[in-house]
Amino acid sequence: MDMRGFILFRPARNCPKNVLCRILLIGTFLLTLSFLSFNDRILFVSGWSTSKNSADNHHSKFPDFGHHNRNLQNILSYDNGQLHRQRPDQRTRKSHNKAHRLVTNWNITLTSESSQVEVPRERDKESSVAEESKRGRRLPRAIIIGVKKGGTRALLEFLRVHPDVKATGPEPHFFDKHYHKGLDWYRNLMPETLPHQMTIEKTPSYFITKEVPSRIFKMSNSTKLVLVVRDPVTRAVSDYTQMLSKHGKSKSFQSSAFLRNDTNKINTSWIVLRIGLYVKHLENWLSVFPLKQIHFVHGENLVTNPGEEMRKVQNFLGLRTFITEDHFLMNKTRGFPCIKKTLSSKRGHCLDESKGRKHPNLPETVLASLRRFYHPFNARFYRLTNINFHWT
């Protein structure tokens, strides 16, 4: 048989009748099929089977480790959480889910090979340069709205330990005192952040100011709100202690708290007591925001178990859990947790002397009267929040 003629010119005409030709054709067909399916497997693992997208352009900047390794690069960068910026098309999105399941197993091999370990670092460098160019001041995505003397400063300082959080220093008081200055003024008070970081501010007086909820809602209806609450009786004493330290000797607690010095007649117009009517203020917020958009931090627990409270806060804010009990050290002299010096939090510190002051001793009759006063309001607050804070 003239093989050259057979292969080059005659297959189409003679093949159906020639047995050897049929075998060859079927064989070629099967070979092509298996090659295609192998190729598809690689593409499915990489998640980038359609190639004309930005990620492919990006790949051209990497050193060429060959086709197989390029696909491994994709897995690594997926694992590094980079893909959200490179919108995959329909097909690749499906593949991502599968690829994600494979990532853990694949990484075991990958980490043992130094050349492949270099890849994500290179990529990290590039993406961090790109991110750096987007550094700027952003409006807060979360606000600690109160309550005054609840432990708001401690909460903000603790949150600052998180690498994905940036917080203001002083209280901005934008939504209650400086609203007329406009959002640009407000934004300028914010620290510079990278796109993935969350800006947070705290102004405890927001919680008790009627107009604030709708103003925050107008800025962004997805703003996350955090409220630290503490037993309203100790909160009131703490507030009074602060007044004493700021204004020197002033009226006694009793003379402001009770009408005509009668411990049964509470002076409900005294702001120090009014702030503790949490349910009243919360009702105002709930007329604007849904309950699920407000996270309640248990003030007492923030002192005794900061790790647990911070886990819940991070979860609510959609942050990865970074701050844990390992970040705190109980200062026995002060009776409050301080932030430990760690690699991530280089500035280990306690809150300053204005936090955790010694309270004046008030007669038991005064405290009992305040507890009676707050009791029904607390009960309503527990019902509204679905949380029992166990204040006596």
Query: How near is the Cβ of 338 to ligand A3P at its closest, in Å?
Result: 7
Residue 160 binds ligand A3P (CB under 6 A): no
Residue 349 binds ligand A3P (CB under 6 A): no
Phi, psi of 341 (to 5 degrees): -80, 115
Look up residue 25 and give its amino acid.
L
- Residue with smaller CB distance to ligand A3P, 43 or 226: 226
Half-sphere exposure of 388 (CA within 13 A, CB side): 2
The answer to whether 337 and 330 are in contact (CB under 8 A) is: yes
- Residue with smaller CB distance to ligand A3P, 216 or 351: 351
The answer to whether 25 and 11 are in contact (CB under 8 A) is: yes
Residue 74 binds ligand A3P (CB under 6 A): no
- Alpha-helical runs (H) found in the chain: 3-8, 11-14, 19-46, 54-59, 67-79, 90-110, 114-132, 152-160, 182-189, 212-219, 232-247, 253-257, 271-274, 278-286, 299-304, 306-317, 364-385
Residue 161 binds ligand A3P (CB under 6 A): no
- With CB under 6 A as the contact rule, the residue among 141, 244, 356, 377 that binds ligand A3P is 356
Query: How near is the Cβ of 385 to ligand A3P at its closest, in Å?
Result: 19
- With CB under 6 A as the contact rule, the residue among 204, 213, 232, 276 that binds ligand A3P is 204
Look up residue 226 and give its amino acid.
V
Q: Cα separations (Å) of 236 from 239, 256, 297, 358?
A: 5, 11, 18, 13
Residue 276 binds ligand A3P (CB under 6 A): no
Query: How near is the Cβ of 293 to ligand A3P at its closest, in Å?
Result: 21
Bridge partners for 229 per DSSP: 298
- Residue with smaller CB distance to ligand A3P, 65 or 270: 270
Query: How near is the Cβ of 350 to ligand A3P at its closest, in Å?
Result: 6
Rounded-to-integer distance, Cα 361 and Cα 194, Å: 48
Stretch that binds ligand A3P, among 193-201, 270-278, 351-359, 363-371 (CB under 6 A): 351-359
Contacts of 323 (CB under 8 A, 6+ apart): 158, 159, 161, 162, 307, 310, 311, 314
Stretch that binds ligand A3P, among 20-28, 92-100, 146-154, 371-379 (CB under 6 A): 146-154
Stretch that binds ligand A3P, among 13-21, 148-156, 253-261, 382-390 (CB under 6 A): 148-156
Half-sphere exposure of 275 (CA within 13 A, CB side): 27
Stretch that binds ligand A3P, among 53-61, 147-155, 285-293, 382-390 (CB under 6 A): 147-155
Residue 355 binds ligand A3P (CB under 6 A): yes
- With CB under 6 A as the contact rule, the residue among 154, 227, 272, 297 that binds ligand A3P is 154
- With CB under 6 A as the contact rule, the residue among 45, 110, 165, 302 that binds ligand A3P is 302
Residue 67 binds ligand A3P (CB under 6 A): no
Q: Which residues bind ligand A3P (CB under 6 A)?
A: 148-154, 204, 238, 241, 302-303, 336-337, 351, 355-357
